[in-house]
């Protein structure tokens, strides 16, 4: 009896030890593939995670020195900067994982009108292939949700932006990343996709969930396939526009609900690095707010032997200092974002802040504190601008002179592609290739008619009107400075977004204001009444014609007196012939 009892106990003991052994083994191997968000909660925890990589036998000890920050000084312009001893960044060994790299930067440019333009860019580069058969499951810096979107929907390029406000080009110059008001999504699919429209529909719904935005309103009535513009920004010389889809939702409003999932896609989240500054109560209290996600394949080197996937998350904000109660033109990072920078994101290979000091070469307009001797010059939007750089990790130097080189541009013939709309199926698409003569004004006018829709097709606020999305102008503008055509060279993020094909011109994309059109509305309270009244009129016609068709003329007999009539009724009942 005892032996019988002992056997199950023994088996149980063996099972427990086996599971314990297996668990310890997997714990070591899975620790390296933990989600980056969970991995970096606090600096202390990241030390432990970094130390648990199986490839490194020696556990790295990283000392986090207390960061000292200076109080904001009252100057004409002050920038706040944390002097942090750059901690050693976690290096990933090439071992089993493809190489991935994360960079973050913030560009602050004071504008002519006194506003401040802040542009965040976060770039993750990952040498992997989503398209091959092997499923990618070890996500580190690249967010898993977007990786799965790319592989499931065979996306080649994805560009999505959410914007609140309209960019005032006359007062603010050109933005680094143009975007139209509302939401804009354009996607290039891989050649292997058979049903592009179905994939597009699923993709918009999934993105709607990821970004907590109502992108599910994108359907065939607001999707187009441009044939001349929106060429791929990454590698790939596709010319088949069947795989391109473009949609815009001008009514879409951006709020904290959209910012939160966007921030979650970053490797450090909003806990470390530049993303710490992104707090919604200040970000949305601005004149212009735009957040975007761009995914595209890029070449790693100039011969393009290896390609990697690039994910760029950008956030452009324009703060109006006058509304925030600041009389003088002074700003600080704390005043703009109501947060201070503590340290760089430990997973970032570079973390920099650029302040545009082109308008202030000798320091006569404003003064930056803490001062820095690191200067960088970059050519952006056809103009050479000088930036003072604050490197949150370690110092780098950029810049060298480019040589001027002129090239004649080939003349392009006029090209017009027009796809008229079908009611309730697809929108109008008008694409024109125009050569604009200098010092002139070109007007494009379109005649339109307002339509009356069915009463169920109006939005709940029909008197607000209907939005017509922004027009897009994509142009190659002659550059005053030679642009660098080597796109794989190391450059600041803000000047390397649009690939440069020629030295003498740069690419610019401008969005116009959306149009708000007031349509005539029927009376929404009247469906029953209208149906009854119209059917009455039709019945009047039917009744008159029926009478005239089925009856004939007879001589009218006068009606007998009442008593006689009653008597006739009784006689008829009795079966007796009636009175005369």
Partner 1 sequence: MAAPLTVVLIVAVTVRACLFRSSLADLIAERVEVVSPLNAWKRVVEGLALLDLGVSPYSGDVFHETPLIIYLFHFLVDYAEITFMVSSLSSHIVLYCLLLSLIVTSCCLFVDRYLLNPFTVLSCVAKSTCGLNNAIVALFILSTIKKNALLSAIFLALSTYQSIYPVTLCAPAVLYLLQRQYIPVNVRWASFWWFLLQYAFMYLGSLFVIICLSFFLLGSWDYLPSVYGFILSVPDLTPNIGLFWYFFAEMFEHFRLFFLCVFQINVFFYTIPLSIKLKEHPVFLIFMQLAVISIFKSYPTVGDIALYMSFLPVWSHLHRFLRNIFLVSCVLLACSALFPVLWHLWIYSGSANSNFYYAITLLFNVAQILLVSDYFYAFLRREHHLTYGLYLKRKDGSEATLVLK
Taking CB under 8 A as the criterion, the residue among 2, 170, 446, 549 binding partner 1 is 549
Q: Does 375 bind partner 1 (CB under 8 A)?
A: no
Q: Does 553 bind partner 1 (CB under 8 A)?
A: yes
CB of 332 to partner 1, least distance (A): 50
Q: Which is nearer to partner 1, 25 or 421 (CB)?
A: 421
What single string gives the DSSP state of each residue in 363-403?
SSS---SS----EEEEEETTEEEEEEEEESS-------PPP
Q: Which is nearer to partner 1, 13 or 524 (CB)?
A: 524
Helix axes 256-264, 196-211, angle to 10 degrees: 100
CB of 537 to partner 1, least distance (A): 5
Phi, psi of 97 (to 5 degrees): -95, 145
Question: Site map for partner 1, 445-484, x if CB under 8 A?
Answer: --x-x-xxxxxx----------------------------
Which stretch in 143-151, 252-260, 497-505, 526-534 sits in contact with partner 1 by CB under 8 A?
526-534
CB of 415 to partner 1, least distance (A): 11
Report cis status (omega within 30 of 0) of the bond before 88: no
Determine the Cα–Cα distance for residues 432 and 116; give it in Å rounded to an integer.
Answer: 35
DSSP 8-state secondary structure symbol assigned to residue 66: P
Q: Does 551 bind partner 1 (CB under 8 A)?
A: yes
Determine the Cα–Cα distance for residues 206 and 215; give it in Å rounded to an integer.
Answer: 9
Determine the Cα–Cα distance for residues 305 and 300; give it in Å rounded to an integer.
Answer: 7
Determine the Cα–Cα distance for residues 202 and 209; give it in Å rounded to an integer.
Answer: 11
Taking CB under 8 A as the criterion, the residue among 362, 418, 460, 573 binding partner 1 is 418
Query: 208: burial class by Cβ within 10 Å (0-12, 13-18, 19+)?
Result: middle
Q: Which is nearer to partner 1, 334 or 455 (CB)?
A: 455
Pair of tokens at residue 378: 């970059």
Taking CB under 8 A as the criterion, the residue among 59, 375, 540, 569 binding partner 1 is 540
Determine the Cα–Cα distance for residues 217 and 182; give it in Å rounded to an integer.
Answer: 13
* DSSP three-state, residue 8: helix
Bridge partners for 508 per DSSP: 475
Q: Which is nearer to partner 1, 3 or 451 (CB)?
A: 451
CB of 126 to partner 1, least distance (A): 43
Kindly report the number of other CB atoms within 10 A of residue 103's CB atom.
20
- Residues in contact with partner 1, counted by CB under 8 A, come to a total of 44
Q: Which of residues 378-417 bind partner 1 (CB under 8 A)?
A: 416
CB of 228 to partner 1, least distance (A): 15
Contact set with partner 1 (CB under 8 A): 416, 418-424, 428, 447, 449, 451-456, 520-523, 526-527, 530-531, 533-534, 537-538, 540-542, 544-545, 547-549, 551-557
């Amino acid at each position: 009896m005892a032996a019988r009892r002992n056997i199950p106990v023994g088996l149980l003991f063996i099972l427990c030890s086996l599971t314990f052994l297996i668990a310890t083994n997997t714990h070591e191997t899975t620790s390296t593939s933990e989600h980056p968000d969970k991995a970096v909660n606090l600096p202390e925890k990241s030390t432990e995670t970094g130390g648990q990589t199986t490839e490194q036998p020696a556990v790295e000890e990283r000392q986090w020195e207390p960061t000292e920050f200076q109080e904001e000084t009252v100057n004409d312009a002050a920038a706040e900067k944390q002097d942090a001893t750059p901690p050693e960044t976690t290096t990933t060994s090439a071992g089993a994982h493809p190489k991935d790299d994360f960079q973050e930067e913030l560009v602050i440019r004071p504008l002519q009108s006194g506003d401040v333009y802040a542009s965040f860019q976060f770039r993750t580069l990952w040498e992997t292939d989503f398209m091959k058969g092997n499923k990618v499951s070890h996500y580190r810096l690249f967010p898993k949700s977007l990786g799965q979107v790319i592989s499931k929907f065979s996306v080649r390029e994805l560009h999505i932006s959410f914007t609140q406000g309209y960019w005032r080009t006359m007062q603010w110059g050109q933005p680094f990343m143009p975007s139209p008001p509302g939401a804009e999504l354009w996607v290039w699919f891989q050649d292997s996709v058979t049903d592009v429209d179905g994939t597009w529909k699923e993709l918009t719904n999934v993105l709607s969930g990821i970004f907590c935005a109502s992108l599910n309103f994108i359907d065939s009535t607001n999707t187009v396939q441009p044939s001349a513009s929106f060429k791929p920004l990454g590698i790939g010389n596709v010319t088949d526009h069947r795989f391109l889809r473009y949609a815009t939702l001008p009514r879409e409003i951006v709020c904290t609900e959209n910012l939160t999932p966007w921030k979650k896609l970053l490797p450090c989240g909003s806990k470390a690095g530049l993303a710490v500054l992104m707090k919604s109560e200040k970000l949305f209290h601005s004149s212009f707010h735009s957040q975007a996600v761009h995914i595209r394949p890029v070449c790693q080197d100039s011969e393009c032997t290896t390609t990697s996937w690039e994910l760029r998350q950008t956030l452009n904000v324009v703060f109006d200092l006058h509304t925030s109660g600041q009389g003088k033109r002074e700003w600080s990072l704390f005043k703009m974002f109501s947060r201070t920078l503590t340290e760089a994101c430990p997973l970032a290979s570079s973390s920099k802040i650029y302040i545009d000091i082109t308008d202030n070469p000798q320091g006569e307009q404003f003064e930056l504190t803490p001062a820095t001797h690191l200067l960088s010059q970059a050519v952006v939007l056809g103009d050479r601008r000088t930036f003072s750089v604050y490197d949150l990790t370690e110092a780098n130097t950029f810049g060298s002179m480019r040589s001027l080189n002129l090239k004649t541009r080939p003349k392009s013939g006029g090209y017009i592609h027009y796809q008229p709309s079908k009611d309730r199926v697809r929108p109008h698409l008008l694409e024109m290739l125009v050569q604009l003569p200098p010092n002139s004004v070109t007007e494009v006018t379109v005649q339109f008619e307002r339509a009356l829709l069915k009463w169920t097709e109006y939005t709940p606020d029909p008197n607000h009107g209907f939005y017509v999305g922004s027009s897009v102008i994509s142009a190659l503008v002659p550059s005053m400075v030679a642009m660098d055509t080597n796109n794989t060279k190391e450059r600041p993020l803000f000047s390397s977004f649009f690939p440069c094909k020629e030295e003498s011109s740069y690419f610019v994309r401008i969005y116009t204001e959306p149009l708000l059109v007031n349509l005539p509305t029927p009376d929404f309270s009247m469906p029953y009444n209208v149906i009854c009244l119209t059917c009455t009129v039709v019945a009047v016609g039917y009744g008159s014609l029926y009478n005239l068709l089925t009856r004939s003329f007879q001589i009218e007999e006068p009606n007998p007196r009442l008593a006689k009539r009653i008597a006739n009724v009784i006689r008829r009942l009795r079966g007796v012939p009636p009175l005369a």
